């Protein structure tokens, strides 16, 4: 089942159920995605019924719709760094220590705003080191404190695709404070469709998205990393986050930059990783960060080419 939020001028938009190919929709009496996720046991039968009608050919064209992010604002956004190849490269470059064994990296970020997949991204200065970060993510229902990873799997209700924007020149200053991100992490972007795990078939297993995330920068292929090689699956990230607190319904958790150990061959999902490879291989970074007017496009499709989350396609502009 695919769900989307139609931009109707209100802060949380209007929930719609989307056909498998993304071309048709049906409105629902469940007002918003947040309302659906808070009452999932009641909302799911209604939504799956609408999805079945779409499968049967019903629905209106999505052509004229403007989609917001599936959750235009959320109660909680937690981002991991679950790809060891990316973490190891950053540790080598910056001389930082790896995390303790068995402990995921995670921070709590800005959640009151998520940008739509096609909106311009306003940022103050090019010299801040504007970077994209392609990620996968999940949305939970209410998660009680102390859940096990196995129990956490049942609380993962929706999967999403994320561009976690970063300002790389500001990050080192904030990292040294030990207090986390404020300036270096502006609002993230979400692809238009949030999907239930069954939409992925066998590509959803072990709490991981076993599909590639294609990234193009200004129309040129930048990376095509596979989502599967997470050191910690999403169920383990959920359990980590909920170890000393419950998680509210509508919590979004990100994977961190999708990365594979053969990044020299398949490319990267962020500029910082490519610059890191250049520093190791050539002694200095030669790829610059984004400039105003640059575009980034990210999309994950099923192996047979069918639409999954839809594409993120955005331009960076001066605020």
pLDDT tens readout for residues 16-73: 999 999 999 999 999 999 999 999 999 999 999 999 999 999 999 999 999 999 999 9
DSSP state letter for 62: S
3-state secondary structure of 302: coil
Q: Same domain, yes or no, for 25 and 111?
A: no
Count how many domains the chain has.
2
Torsion of CA 17, 301, 213, 290, to 10 degrees: -70
Q: Same domain, yes or no, for 37 and 142?
A: no
Q: Same domain, yes or no, for 91 and 236?
A: yes
Give φ, ψ of 309 to 5 degrees: -90, -10
Which residues, 6 or more positions from 45, have their beta carbon under 8 angstroms from its beta carbon? Answer: none
pLDDT higher than 90, residue 299: yes
Q: Same domain, yes or no, for 109 and 37?
A: no
Between 3-7, 98-102, 282-286, 314-318, the lowest mean confidence (pLDDT) is in 98-102
Let me know how long the chain is: 319
Which residues, 6 or more positions from 43, have their beta carbon under 8 angstroms from its beta carbon? Answer: 30, 35, 36, 37
Q: Same domain, yes or no, for 100 and 215?
A: yes
Which range marks the domain in which residue 178 is found? 71-318
Q: Same domain, yes or no, for 57 and 159?
A: no
- For residue 134, the cross-strand partners are 163
pLDDT higher than 70, residue 94: no
| CATH at 142 | 3.90.850.10
Q: What is the pLDDT of residue 262?
A: 94
Mind listing the pLDDT tens digit for each residue in 305-319? 999 999 999 999 999
Q: Same domain, yes or no, for 220 and 235?
A: yes
Identify the domain boundary among 12, 47, 68: 68
Identify the domain boundary among 47, 68, 89: 68
Q: Same domain, yes or no, for 135 and 193?
A: yes
3-state helix, strand, coil in the chain (%, to 5): 25, 30, 45
H/E element, 91 = helix 84-94
How much of the chain exceeds pLDDT 70, in percent?
99
- Cα distance between residue 104 and residue 237, in whole Å: 7
Q: Same domain, yes or no, for 23 and 83?
A: no
Q: Same domain, yes or no, for 17 and 156?
A: no
Q: Same domain, yes or no, for 100 and 136?
A: yes
Q: Same domain, yes or no, for 157 and 58?
A: no
Average pLDDT, the chain: 96
Tell me the residue ranges of DSSP E strands in 264-310. 295-299
Identify the domain boundary among 68, 95, 120: 68
């Amino acid at each position: 089942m695919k769900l989307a939020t139609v931009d109707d001028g209100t802060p949380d938009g209007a929930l719609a159920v989307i056909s498998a190919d993304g071309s048709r929709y049906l409105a629902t009496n469940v007002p918003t995605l947040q309302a659906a996720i808070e009452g999932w046991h009641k909302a799911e039968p209604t939504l799956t019924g609408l999805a079945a009608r779409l499968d049967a050919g019903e629905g209106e064209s999505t052509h004229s719709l403007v989609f917001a992010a599936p959750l235009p604002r959320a109660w909680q956004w937690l981002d991991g760094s679950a790809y060891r190849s990316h973490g190891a490269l950053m540790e080598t470059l910056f001389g930082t220590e790896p995390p303790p064994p068995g402990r995921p990296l995670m921070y709590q970020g800005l959640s009151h705003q998520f940008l739509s997949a096609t909106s311009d991204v306003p940022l103050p200065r090019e010299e801040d080191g504007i970077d994209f970060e392609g990620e996968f993510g999940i949305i939970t229902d209410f998660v009680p404190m102390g859940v096990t990873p196995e129990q956490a799997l049942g609380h993962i209700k929706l999967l999403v695709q994320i561009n976690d924007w970063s300002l790389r020149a500001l990050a080192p200053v904030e990292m040294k404070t030990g207090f986390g991100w404020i300036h270096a992490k502006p609002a993230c972007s979400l692809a238009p469709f949030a999907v239930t795990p069954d939409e992925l078939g066998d590509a959803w297993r072990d709490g991981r998205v076993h599909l590639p995330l294609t990234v193009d920068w200004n129309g040129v292929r930048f990376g095509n990393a596979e989502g599967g090689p997470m050191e910690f699956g999403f169920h383990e990230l959920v359990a980590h986050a909920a170890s000393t607190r419950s998680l509210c319904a509508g919590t979004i958790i990100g994977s961190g930059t999708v990365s594979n150990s053969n990044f020299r061959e398949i490319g990267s999902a962020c500029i910082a990783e490519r610059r890191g490879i250049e520093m190791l291989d050539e002694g200095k970074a030669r790829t610059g960060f984004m400039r105003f007017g640059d575009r980034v496009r990210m999309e994950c499709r099923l192996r047979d080419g069918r639409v999954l989350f839809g594409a993120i396609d955005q331009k960076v502009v001066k605020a």
